[in-house]
Amino acid sequence: MNTQEQQDYQRIAEAIDFIKTHFRKQPGLEEIAAQVHMSPFHFQRLFTEWAGTSPKKFLQYISLEHAKGLLKAEQQASLFDAAYETGLSSTSRLHELFIKIEGMSPASYKNGAAQLTIHYDFFPSPFGKVIIAATDIGICYMAFEEEESFAVEKLQTYFPHASFTKETNLLQQQALSIFDHKEAPLPEIKLHLKGTPFQLKVWEALLKIPMGQLTTYGTLAKQIEQPNASRAVGTAIGSNPIAFLIPCHRVIQATGNFGGYMWGPTRKTAIIGWEQAQIETTS
């Protein structure tokens, strides 16, 4: 991501923070633009280029009432159950995407991870710089990190016995294509995950949430037939090693509040709103 793109994302992030804080007042274009020191005309153009929709529409997408509406619709129409049956089908082009999973248990990781060679590199995304790492089997790690040395350190901590090579390969490029909603069809993406059986079950359930829809921790717990395990589900979601591809950002609190996110609540809000915008532009 070049300097200008970084500056653009920072402005968008500042605007989203302002919208999150003041959405109940429904701030107008001029008020939001003033917060990021831009003219309304230039802010409208920049925001629309980034999100694919106007700031006004985006405000609607991320409002608390809209989030509640999405959750209510899910409960009434059983959208989550339908998504579980139909894979990743949705009204967006993501219905083209099919993600295969090969899980590594902690025991198999301990015994064999020393044999792993992990290829990683950094790429621009609509939500800042992202590190994507892959084994020969599939994507094993993906995170939004601006500081490259810190990102590599975290990756190495997650896979302490593996060897690492900084290079771009086809698996990473395939994963990156998920951010380009104009590309169709999206390629098959395979994941190589290290986790407990419970974590893998939760992460697989996350993959069933359609783009543009939201669910809650409690609903997800019921979906995996562990209705009393909402807290454990939350812990597993918080341990998700693959940002965006495994859409933990689509899980919010039952109240409609978006809640926390490993890569920052502002980024979570941006992703939710951005995905709603893509649904709007492709439907």
Active site residues: 248
Beta-carbon count within 10 A of 117 CB: 11
Q: What angle do CA 161, 167, 172 make, to 5 degrees?
A: 90
SS (H, E, C) 185-249: CCCCEEEEEECCHHHHHHHHHHCCCCCCCCEEHHHHHHHCCCCCCHHHHHHHHHCCCECCCCCHH
Q: Report how far Cα 242 is from the mean position of its chain's Cα atoms.
A: 8
Cα gap 153→137, rounded to integer Å? 22
